[in-house]
A and B are shown apart, each in its own frame.
Chain A
């Protein structure tokens, strides 16, 4: 079996589901002949034709609104926002329509659509190409916000997102698009959208993260292990609706919690997790919750961007601080 990267796993999932379900269509800018600027839709137009892999006019509002309309009339569109930083014009259609049509029509109209977007920084891209803004979507009721962190989870979660009867934001951490390869059987098996994944068992401290930062979290766990500290690493994967039980179970066991994310700190999704830990795990906590996040600044242009990102070192230090307390 071939080993594939995260971006190839996205393509594999799209191709599988398009072959299985004729109502699945892909639309966006440059998704056709060019196969997407990151090649996520490589070869799909040749296989499924110009109508099912549709190059749209260059207008994000159009992509988002047409996606709502198609989904409402029985299609399963997978729309691409070329970069997370270009997603803002789509937000009215997503918040006012996609996420609330089921509710405001008492289930008469539904929007089983997926919005994919290459997310986050770290690839030396131009301005507006490196945003991490998942927290702007996690506060919208009726929306699922999903972020894979490995080729296998990209494949399984994207299949689940397309099959889900409700709208899903599928944010792809582009820094790890080609970070490594793994075997991903093309078996059409979806992963659950309602659970966090415990990637590494540990007993001393819980590191909670998602997306590209899973890389730093696992590296930090390795470094901590070398010093005799056992870190549990949780990939939240589906931010909303949140499976807090998995996080609570871990924090109640370890008594320590480090939350890692790339987005700015204030009102980032880490704030929600920290608040929940305070609500549900306070008496088991042995140390204050730590957050290792992007700063409350715009992500710098690329000469400084890696100094903005939560580093492995920062995660290790935060974990050690929680251990220093008791």
Chain B
């Protein structure tokens, strides 16, 4: 028998669910405990932010909101590994990565609160990142296109996209990793496998034992990672970004995690998954293990936890206030950004909307 090709998928983990270190070769960034504390703090602020968002929705101050509960290690791991000049193409719940890149909580609130200005990220580097992408997996091709632009212009930058386990079923994902392999593009596709695409479980998405192995078919470096272990996520991301930046090609990362929340605030996950499964998932959630590890290293304790939580609460209250004080855009805003300049034909409709609006007041 002759073998045409062979492959295997590595599974990467440094911290188990209890915060025990399962291997000794810690990456350099993880030896810098101050930095690890910073990562933990951002994971925590992400969680506080998320809880605040859900509370805003429940009290009628936000529209439908997609929670990121349980994804903190995955998202902060992605965001913290990227360089400012890189480009991020998220789907719609990667707040942990986006906060790292300068997206402000008030912008997230504005977007889910029905205001396009939420997509107009004011701070770099988020300002050159893509906006939230609701049509599943379409953003993967935007990352591939960005990477192609970087290659043509000979820039040492990397484009990163994230999708879910469900998103990895879509042609846009396959198309993106395919051209990344064919053109050797600096692109990293991260599958955040949180086990659920609304009500459809991972096993219905694919018969493949890992989602990472889809990258093998595209000729990309592919790895499965404990997505609740930020050290593993960050390490896999750093390696993938380095390879891409150095012209050694793109990667597919599968971060195995769990969506502890409903799909969105409009969803009720109790309709389709059991309590025990969610309880088991809570035992493996990302904050607990990192906290245990940091406490064991004597760099974190309850007092620090409380103090940081209070700071997060203050930050979020400030952001919520800024959001709630934001006035609704004038009716003309729906016309003014359709084209670079309002065409004459559209200007007539703009005038109509304006006159109706004046009459209504």
Contacts and interface: CB of A to CB of B under 8 A. Distances in A.
Interface of A: 25, 51-52, 54, 56-57, 59, 61-62, 64-75, 77, 89, 92-93, 96-97, 101-110, 141-142, 164-166, 194, 241-245
B102 interface: no
A103 B338 contact: yes
Contacts of B152: 25, 51-52, 75
Given A56-B179, A69-B142, A166-B340, 9 more contacts: A57-B182, A68-B141, A69-B144, A69-B145, A97-B138, A103-B116, A105-B116, A165-B340, A245-B344
Interface string B8-39: 00000000000000000000000000000000
Tell which of B87, B127, B133, B146 has the most Cβ of chain A within 10 Å: B146
Contacts of B179: 56-57, 59, 62, 66
B337 A102 contact: yes
Interface stretch (B65-73, B169-177, B268-276): B169-177
Interface in B125-180: 127-128, 130-131, 133, 135, 138, 140-152, 159, 171-172, 175-176, 178-179
Contact of A141 (B89, B141, B333, B338): B338
A28 to B, nearest CB: 13
29 contacts: A52-B152, A57-B175, A57-B178, A59-B171, A65-B172, A68-B142, A69-B145, A69-B146, A70-B145, A70-B148, A73-B87, A73-B149, A73-B150, A75-B149, A92-B138, A93-B138, A93-B141, A97-B138, A103-B338, A105-B119, A106-B119, A108-B120, A108-B127, A141-B338, A142-B339, A165-B339, A166-B340, A241-B339, A244-B345
A118 to B, nearest CB: 22
Given A51-B152, A70-B145, A102 B172 contact: no
B343 interface: yes
Contacts of B51: none
Interface residues of B, number: 46
B120 A242 contact: no
Interface string B323-361: 000000000011001111001111000000000000000
Contacts of A66: 141, 144-145, 148, 179
A98 to B, nearest CB: 10
A287 B183 CA distance: 59
B69 to A, nearest CB: 26
A71 B121 CA distance: 18
A96 B343 CA distance: 21
Contact of A96 (B138, B146, B159): B138
A128 B154 CA distance: 39
B272 to A, nearest CB: 27
A84 B178 CA distance: 24
Nearest to B171: A61
Contacts of A101: 131
Contacts of A96: 135, 138
A121 B179 CA distance: 31
B83 interface: no
Contacts of B304: none
Nearest to A59: B175
B117 interface: yes
A143 to B, nearest CB: 9
A68 B183 CA distance: 17
A239 to B, nearest CB: 11
B148 A106 contact: no
A245 B345 CA distance: 9
Contact of A70 (B131, B146, B171, B338): B146
Contacts of A56: 179
Interface of B: 87, 89, 116-117, 119-121, 127-128, 130-131, 133, 135, 138, 140-152, 159, 171-172, 175-176, 178-179, 182-183, 333-334, 337-340, 343-346
Contact of A104 (B116, B143, B343): B116
Contact of B130 (A25, A102, A109, A110): A109
Contacts of B148: 54, 66, 69-70
A70 B145 CA distance: 5
B141 A65 contact: yes
A20 B35 CA distance: 48
Contacts of B143: 69
A141 B345 CA distance: 12
Contacts of B150: 73
Contact of B141 (A61, A102, A109): A61
A59 B178 contact: yes
Given A61-B171, A108-B127, A241-B339, A73 B182 contact: no
A75 B87 CA distance: 15
A142 B89 CA distance: 22
Contacts of A61: 141, 171-172, 175
A142 B120 CA distance: 18
Contacts of B131: 101, 104-105, 108-109
Ordered nearest first, which 9 A-B pairs have the shortest CB separation?
A: A69-B145, A65-B141, A241-B343, A62-B175, A69-B142, A66-B145, A165-B340, A106-B120, A70-B145
A110 B340 CA distance: 9
Contact of A241 (B140, B145, B171, B345): B345
Contact of B340 (A65, A67, A102): A102
Tell which of B127, B179, B182 has the most Cβ of chain A within 10 Å: B179
A54 B87 CA distance: 22
A108 B121 contact: yes
Contacts of A166: 339-340
Contacts of A242: 345
A107 B122 CA distance: 12
Contacts of A77: 145
A250 B309 CA distance: 70
Contacts of A67: 145
Nearest to B340: A165
A1 B333 CA distance: 48
Contacts of A68: 141-142, 145
Contacts of A109: 130-131
B130 A72 contact: yes
Contacts of A194: 343-344
Contacts of B343: 194, 241
